[in-house]
Chains A and B, each alone.
Chain A
Amino acid sequence: MTHNPPFARAPVAAWPWLLAGLLALPLLALFLRGFPALPGTAKDLDVVLTSLLLATAGSLITLALALGLAVLGVLGGVGRTLEALLLLGYLVPPFVTSIGVLYSLQAFGVRIYGVPGILLAWALHYAPLAYLLLKPQVRVALGLLAAARVHGVGGAKALQVFLPPLLPPLLVAGGTLYLALLGNFGVPAVLGLPERVYVLPTLAYARLLSPTAQDPLGEAAALGLWLGLLALPVVLLGRAGLLEAKEPLLPPARPAYRLPFALYALLALLLVLLGLLREALLNPYTGAWDPVFARALDLPLVQKGLRNSLLLALGATLLLLLLALALRPFPGLLRRVRGVLDLHYLLPGTLLGVGLILLLAPTPLYATPWLLLLAYLLNFAALALRALEGGLGVEGAVLAGRVHGLGRLRAWLRIGYPLLLPSAFAGAFLIFPLAFAEITLSALLYAPGAETIGVAVLSAINGGLYREASALGLVLMAFSALALLGRPRW
């Protein structure tokens, strides 16, 4: 009838699919290379099992811990400062938590390598994340509990009111934890490798660098496929229904509950800090005061690593948020691309890393920070998109603008983007620390010229430079604390 393209329909359908396909190439390459090599991994099935069991056990332990903290936090009316103390544990990179815990317990003569160490470091690092996920749901559940009490339901019967509504959010948080633990590289690298306790990410890394492997890339790819197999069910499960966020009826805050919360937060922090401080500041043989910060920061690997990590994290954060903002007005395109990007984020980083090696090792991108930037962009894109989700409020406001005569571009520039700015800011605070302390991808894609601070710390540990590694860990902790100061109200 008319030849104006209808405004609500997405642009010509072919090229979003092409883009999605392009983005999925690393995973495709991984599959093609790894599938034929799968029979060769028969000898590694015990590691597959270990990965599964460790991730599951770790999730359950961390979940229980976080639930307790959430209950204490809500009942005690914990304020922002106390929460910040707890959250610091999450901003500290997991591998720094590992070495901190390792050296702290070593001072008491406790050897924490292997499974117990891995579980401990995971719990300490990820509990705050689960706490954040569970807290709003626990608030509502406690409100339901209060309503039950008003109706005379108490004691064990009250749990019937309290626990079932919490099951979906517990599952969601548990799923998030499971995926994070399954794909975590830093903690098992520090605490598992010396004890020869392997999980799939560290085994893939070891295979890639192994002089005795017949087909290092193929075997690493196959192990990546196993990882994907373990992760996929949870990824596909999707999001269960969460409780409504109406203001619940809560009993007044009891300060008594704040004490155990504060104690935990403090102890968790000290457990990490003490070991690091001891190693970094005192000579291990004579006990004399001998800070090694200068020595640590003198290493060229460290200097380049810090510089690269900073630039990469800043660059990735900026680019991703700009990209997310640019894509926001195009929901159709966003949807198609979103699926692949979600995979890159949720699936363990090992898959993306090995896939990128397969695709790009022969190119000049290899051994440059640009390859790492690409890896970070692919890995964290889903986060940026999620940060800007902001609900239909923004779309509605933009539509209101268009109805009132503002052209599409103008509506987004004057109305949509200003409304999205706070979300973008929050997203930056989410992505930057993660990108800065990233180690899974960085270790796999590492070559001189592409070093990051995470790799520098790992190299230091592998090179026996425990003291320098601790000093660097403390520097990273200081960085994380800074990020915490600027955190917006979540």
Chain B
Amino acid sequence: MVRLEGVAKRFPGGGGVLGVDLEVGEGEVFVLLGASGSGKTTLLHLVAGLHLPDAGRVFLGGKEVTHLPPERRQVGYVFQDQALWPHLTALDHLLLVMPKPDRKEALGLLERVGLLDHAHKRPHQLSGGQRQRVALVRALARRPQVLLLDEPYSALDPVLREELRLEVRTLLKEQGTTALHVTHDPEEAMLLADRVGVMSQGRLLQVGSPKEVYLHPNSLESFLAFGRANLLRRDGEVLAFRQEWASPGGSLIAEVLERRELRGEVLCRVRLEWGEAWVRLEARPGERLHLKIDPLLHFPAP
């Protein structure tokens, strides 16, 4: 559905995207995961047509759209700050973007996200979550070829964020919409993605199912992208493992320094031969025990 071939874009102030190849299948939810400045938003802009690439080609639905202006590409875009139009009601937002304005359909969409009673309200009369939903259905009202989402929940509080992201996934799967979703939150990536692409410094480092990338990162950056990371140095290389990959038994000696509980899990700060780490383990401070870490990843030191 979406295909990028060798797409690159440089900015005079730095950042941008360096030679990315990507393919998103129809109905697939693809999440781009990366820190700020990794180029993920730029990539999204390139698909939307808000920037023109310096090199490479962009295809939507099999057609090349590299030089098409955004209004001819038939994409939907959910912005980070919603970018709602302050002078229009929620209903008007939908009617404005529909190629054939259909009141019934628009109201139906609003109802689908529980905003039927707020159809005639203006953005400043809506809560953050409600605004985000308006932005979502505005994007869907066009029946876009692909829905582009740019960290759409970052402006909301954590509880609302969780609620909304699950709703969005359900809606997308229901409608069978192809989606390209950008985020810096690894949990979000794991929850929403059919496939995940890890981006860092303008490059696409690894693509695969969330489980795949989580368990088998191909680089230090990919590893770090999913969090829960422990990094220790040993002779010019970096040892990396996730908190839950440690278990009792094994040959490593560890001294427990601190114990904390988080969401029903117990985490302990332990001192190992090469440094300190946080592991998911039931133990008490002061204890000395044996640990097994599997897998223990090795990466060359940066």
Chain A residues within 8 Å of B, Cβ to Cβ? 1-2, 4, 6-8, 396-397, 399-408, 411, 414-415, 418-419
Contact = CB atoms under 8 A, between A and B. Distances in A.
Contacts of B74: 405
14 contacts: A4-B67, A4-B68, A6-B52, A7-B52, A7-B69, A396-B83, A397-B83, A397-B86, A399-B83, A403-B50, A404-B76, A404-B96, A404-B142, A419-B87
Contacts of B75: 403
Given A401-B97, A403-B75, A404-B142, 7 more contacts: A1-B66, A4-B69, A6-B67, A400-B84, A402-B69, A404-B139, A419-B87
A403 B66 CA distance: 15
Given A6-B52, A8-B52, A406 B83 contact: no
Contacts of B59: none
A414 B87 CA distance: 10
Contacts of A7: 49, 52, 69-70
A392 to B, nearest CB: 11
A414 B101 CA distance: 15
B66 A2 contact: yes
B85 A403 contact: no
Nearest to A399: B50
Q: How large, as a class, is the contact surface on chain B? A: 20 to 34
A8 B66 CA distance: 13
Interface in B49-92: 49-52, 64, 66-71, 74-77, 79, 81, 83-87
A155 B222 CA distance: 55
Contacts of B68: 4
Contacts of A399: 50, 70, 83
Contacts of A419: 85-87
A406 B96 contact: yes
A410 B52 CA distance: 22
Contacts of B83: 396-397, 399-400
A404 B67 contact: no
Contacts of A418: 87
B70 A403 contact: yes
A79 to B, nearest CB: 24
Given A8-B51, A406-B96, A414-B96, A401 B67 contact: no
Chain B interface helix/strand/loop/mixed: loop
B268 interface: no
Nearest to B82: A400
Q: Which of A404, A415, A418 has the most CB of B within 10 A?
A: A404
Interface string B29-55: 000000000000000000011111000
A405 B68 CA distance: 12
A120 B48 CA distance: 59
A4 B66 CA distance: 10
B3 interface: no
B71 A408 contact: yes
B133 to A, nearest CB: 16
B195 interface: no
Most buried by B among A405, A418, A419: A405
Given A1-B66, A4-B68, A405 B85 contact: no
A403 B48 contact: yes
A406 to B, nearest CB: 6
Contacts of B71: 402-408, 411
Contacts of A402: 69-71
B67 A2 contact: yes
Contact of B77 (A8, A397, A400): A400
Contacts of A2: 64, 66-67
A179 to B, nearest CB: 31
Nearest to A2: B67
B138 interface: yes
A401 B77 contact: no
A266 B51 CA distance: 56
B50 A404 contact: no
A405 B97 contact: yes
B50 A415 contact: no
B12 interface: no
Contact of A403 (B52, B64, B77, B81): B77
Nearest to B52: A6
Which 4 pairs across A and B sit closest by C-beta, in order of nearness? A7-B69, A400-B83, A404-B97, A2-B67
B158 interface: no
A400 B148 CA distance: 12
B99 interface: yes
Nearest to A414: B96
A419 B83 CA distance: 13
Given A7-B69, A400-B77, A415 B85 contact: yes
Contacts of B139: 404
Contact of B79 (A6, A8, A400, A407): A400
Nearest to B148: A403
Give the most central of B49, B70, B83, B139: most A CB within 10 Å: B70
Contact of A400 (B85, B99, B142): B85
A403 B83 CA distance: 11
Contacts of B86: 397, 419
Interface in B109-149: 138-139, 142
Interface in B219-235: none
Contacts of B76: 403-404
A400 B88 CA distance: 13
B96 A401 contact: yes
A420 to B, nearest CB: 11
A3 to B, nearest CB: 9
Contacts of B52: 6-8
B105 to A, nearest CB: 15
A2 B68 CA distance: 9
A403 B47 CA distance: 11
Contacts of B67: 1-2, 4, 6
A41 B186 CA distance: 73
A405 B99 contact: yes
B85 A401 contact: yes
Nearest to A4: B67
A313 to B, nearest CB: 29
A82 B171 CA distance: 55
Contact of B142 (A6, A405, A408): A405
A4 to B, nearest CB: 5
Contacts of B84: 400
A11 to B, nearest CB: 14
B12 to A, nearest CB: 14
A408 B70 CA distance: 10
Nearest to B76: A404
